[in-house]
Copies of this chain bind each other. A is one copy, B any other.
Amino acid sequence: MLTTTDLTVEKINSLLKTAEEFAQGNTLKAADEIYVSNLFFEDSTRTKTSFDIAQRRLGLNVVPFDVTSSSVNKGESLYDTVRTLESLGINLAVIRHGKDKYYEELKDVKLALINGGDGSGNHPTQTILDLMTIHQEFGKFKGLKVGIVGDVKHSRVANSNAEALRKMGAKVYFSGPEKWFDEGTIINGTYLPIDDLVKEVDVLMLLRIQHERHGEKMKISLESYHKKFGLTLDREKAMKKEAIIMHPAPINRGVEIADELVESVRSRIFKQMENGVYARMAILKEALEEKGFKFK
């Protein structure tokens, strides 16, 4: 599973069903001796650990791969690194890489590949866990209104989720600093000012302000961002009765969202993380079954 485009409606429904069964306590273990490795060329706690735990729950052998001490430092290409792991007997690799569509140079490898995030492109496993969290809440996607707030253009979460949500029948709205919405950004939704958007949506997805990336670009302070575009205590009060709050984390408390709202009744932020393990178990199982491995 490499791109959000790979996620057809049938595929999404099938993964959500399997993931929900894991959430309900279903356990499955690999019938074969399967070796997997997680190659994270960008920092991550949640996604990497989530995959790691999902893999152990399925009885897979997780072989550590430390980017900082790998031969990538000696200039080895991603293709040669992955071909090497394949030759050593790794059956599946999860890869996160800063380069958009890094997976295009890997089309000749034979092991199973799962995209753990590429540049500003795709993040399909985050999409599945986000859809799962929404589906647990509302039991449907059709007719739901989902608002995504932040740097939509540079966010692989935003891009992946908006595309999948539209496919499933939801209506997507965006908000955030207008200058972040250049021509061409708004493909899968409609821009709304934040104060209108919070009143309109059933699901409010906040994106992380990647202040370590923005540098010059972000000319407003974090406090100012919070007041102008963040989920303040006042804006939360304007939300619909049943509406929920989501965030892919890590959170900048007091920036995208008021500190007090992170663990409030509407928040599904830690629930998303919990669902992430089940969603990834489903994704791993399907990817390995496609390669002929069995579970019992």
Interface of A with B (CB < 8 Å)?
33, 35, 37, 40, 43-46, 48-50, 52-53, 56-57, 61, 63-77, 80-81, 83-90, 212, 249-253, 270-271, 273-274, 276-277
Residues of B within 8 A of A252 (CB): 75
* A63 touching B69, Cβ below 8 Å: no
* B87 touching A274, Cβ below 8 Å: yes
Residues of B within 8 A of A81 (CB): 45
**Which B residue's beta carbon lies closest to that of A271?**
B87
Main secondary structure of the interface of A (DSSP, over half): helix
A271 to B48, CA, bound (A): 30
* A88 touching B250, Cβ below 8 Å: no
**Which B residue's beta carbon lies closest to that of A40?**
B69
* B212 touching A45, Cβ below 8 Å: no
* A50 touching B88, Cβ below 8 Å: yes
* B73 touching A63, Cβ below 8 Å: no
Partner of A88, one of B53, B65, B89: B53
Top-7 shortest CB links A-B = A87-B273, A76-B250, A45-B71, A71-B250, A87-B270, A45-B70, A87-B274
Do A69 and B56 contact each other (CB < 8 Å), given the known contacts A84-B249, A250-B76, A276-B88? no
A267 to chain B, nearest CB (A): 12
A57 to B32, CA, bound (A): 12
**Which B residue's beta carbon lies closest to that of A69?**
B43
**Which B residue's beta carbon lies closest to that of A278?**
B89
* A251 touching B80, Cβ below 8 Å: yes
* B273 touching A80, Cβ below 8 Å: no
